[in-house]
Copies of this chain bind each other. A is one copy, B any other.
């Protein structure tokens, strides 16, 4: 499946773009990110000096711009050459490709199509990063040797919890397969929510907020094509009316931003943040839940990388058969296809 290009992908966490050039591969393009010294704005160029092809990531950010580490050719944020070593004027052709970027909610987003077509209104809003009082959070990125779609799919079918995460966050397998699930397709992707009413709280929840009584538990996911999944997971003691109002204190409440960016057809950048909506004054609460989620994500990574490897050596998805639990996954693929089709028309 080809990558939609006229769309935004997460390129980096804002704090990663600092004094030194940062290299990332996105949709098969080698990109170098840097922060302009004068304006403080993030910028993205093709990671290839157009003098002799050296990668700009080995260069330095100077007052003039990004300077190649081989012969000193220097570029501004638009990719125009602003300095060459030695005498003589700068050839007008000396320009590297640039990409539109925008920094918002602690994320550096990149538009992989023509910069002039970049539609900044379509960037995913994630206001929880800005509300650190209510949602203290921790951010991370890990690489996965699999197509980004396989990672989105992993999130669309939670029956895997009982098997992939059986020794960590999985809990009772029957509970997951019996969950009440509502799936709503949307223009931008899809929304689903699963309810486990009146069920025993998982160990993670008890550890986080001390609940021991039965809880009404929810897992809400919204997919925004191509690569974002916004998750809100939580539980309130049964009887507190969780289904009517989930935004009460005293329960377990966790938001996760999953942002999947394709490096190549078979490798991805998995950016994610966890925001804990409880014990906000206690940094250990954030660290604890981060570690638990990270452990589970490593289990997903191992499974999805093995799945990718098997698909690669056996003709891709040929002969695979959908079952009932694939409903969200099927809607997800349709939403992505609409974006690809639309993106290629506009």
Whether A153 pairs with B85 at a CB distance below 8 angstroms is no
Q: How far is the CA of A229 from the CA of B11 in the complex (A)?
A: 43
When the two chains form the complex, which single residue of B58, B173, B176, B307 contacts A53, counting CB atoms closer than 8 Å? B307
Residues of A150-203 contacting chain B, CB below 8 A: 153, 157, 159-160, 162-164, 173, 176-177
Whether B325 pairs with A71 at a CB distance below 8 angstroms is yes
Among A44-52, A126-134, A215-223, A243-251, the stretch that binds chain B is A44-52
**CB of A160, distance to nearest CB on chain B (Å):** 5
Q: How far is the CA of A306 from the CA of B23 in the complex (A)?
A: 12
Say yes or no for A345: interface residue by CB 8 A criterion: no
The residue in chain B whose Cβ has the minimal distance to the Cβ of A90 is B323
Most buried by B among A73, A153, A162, A310: A310
Whether A310 pairs with B48 at a CB distance below 8 angstroms is yes
What chain B residues lie within 8 Å of A153 (beta carbons)?
52
Q: Which 8 A-B pairs have the closest CB atoms?
A: A88-B324, A86-B177, A85-B159, A54-B307, A53-B311, A55-B310, A93-B321, A85-B177
The residues of A with any CB-CB pair to B shorter than 8 Å are 30, 46-48, 50-55, 58, 67-73, 84-88, 90-91, 93-94, 153, 157, 159-160, 162-164, 173, 176-177, 302-303, 306-307, 309-311, 313-314, 317, 319-325
